[in-house]
Amino acid sequence: MSDLNEHPLIIDYISQNNFGRLLGMNFTILSPGHVAYSISINQSHLATPVAVHGGVVASLLDATVGVGALSAVCEEGKVVSTVELSISYLSPAFLYDELIATSELVKIGKRLIFMEAKVVNQNGLLLAKATAILNSYPKEKAGY
């Protein structure tokens, strides 16, 4: 398929991703394994009067590696789930920041997919990095 953003499994993911909608996250698949995921920070994302809760950044990173991995296996009729996610927080995010996370496919095996991702703000400041291992499996096991 030429545009993975239109793949049926990706469309299903978007329609059923209530958590992503709750946080206000949106993505674009750039190529298999490479995704740009964004979020505009508002009051509901804050842990202090000005700083974002780390869970928002973690959710953005998890979603980024997840869709990145999904985009690498959806043509095979597979979906993914996160097995391990490790995050390094480098700088805080603040109210009204525009965060963009990007993923990179490191290695894909028969079942395991190794991913990396990073989050930057609107000024290009690196806020967090993540490494992840995801499991790929037939879409039928996930109810698709």
Domain boundaries along the sequence of the chain: 4-142
Neighbours of 107 (CB within 10 A): 9
Q: What is the pLDDT of residues 118-141, one digit of tens each?
A: 999 999 999 999 999 999 999 999
Domain 4-142: CATH superfamily, name plus number: Hotdog Thioesterase (3.10.129.10)
Name the token pair of 45: 């994302």
C-alpha span between 10 and 23 (Å, rounded):
18
Phi/psi of residue 48, each to 5°? -130, 180
Q: What is the pLDDT of residues 75-113, one digit of tens each?
A: 999 999 999 999 999 999 999 999 999 999 999 999 999
Model confidence, pTM: 0.95
Over residues 5-17, mean pLDDT: 93
Q: What is the pLDDT of residues 42-78, one digit of tens each?
A: 999 999 999 999 999 999 999 999 999 999 999 999 9
